[in-house]
Amino acid sequence: MGKEHTAHYEPSLESDLIRRIRLQRGVHDILEDKTQNWLSFQKIVNVCSGAFITLVVFADFGLISKLAPSASGLPVMLSVAVTALLVFIMNALYDVYSVSEKNATHLQAIQQYTDLLSDLKKAKYSNPQKRIDEATLMHCLSRYLQISASATNAGGNSFDKAQEKYLKRRALRKAREEIPFGSKKEVEQRAKSLTGQCKESEGEI
């Protein structure tokens, strides 16, 4: 009786685990894109701030006074330089201690989830019965929980929004595959009806 219960239990757990891994990986992919965009923006701000500081420190004050008469005078120039320097430092610190760290966490989570899916696939297709044994499944579940515990916090309040965006993206891709020659409106309407199905259809390797 117990053996029969296990036969029904394992496939359900297997598909649920795979679905969760793919969903989590997709969410971290969305969040990684977001943090990468922030990093690119911060690099631009850093370059502009650095260029402005260099201009203030090394440029000819006479030239600056001609271009911007209201900005002439050493006290004004120094105050502007100090302000630009503070902006540069604050942005650099935010980059190092917040965005960069989150970006690295998302990249690591994506790789860990990808490796976990690969291990599940190898375990399944190396088995003559094309199924994952219970010990391997429990081990992979434990790994999934460890990854989730360490990576989910990096998403903060954006995690739910990223999940919604990921599911919409998958639904839109699937809708385009179903109706490749459909209008934009038809594809979007079909995608809305597929959003819920996409969350449930990721349980197969």
**Residue 146's pLDDT is what?**
92
**Residue 201's pLDDT is what?**
55
**Residue 1's pLDDT is what?**
41
Q: How many CB atoms lie within 10 A of CB 165?
A: 17
**Residue 161's pLDDT is what?**
85
pLDDT along the chain (205 residues), means of 10: 42 86 92 87 75 63 56 60 71 69 90 95 88 90 91 68 86 87 85 70 53
**Residue 165's pLDDT is what?**
86
Single-letter amino acid, residue 34: K
**Residue 128's pLDDT is what?**
85
- pTM of the model as a whole: 0.67
**Residue 141's pLDDT is what?**
94
**Calpha distance 196→202 (Å, rounded):** 11
- Cα dihedral 181, 185, 186, 191, rounded to 10, equals 110
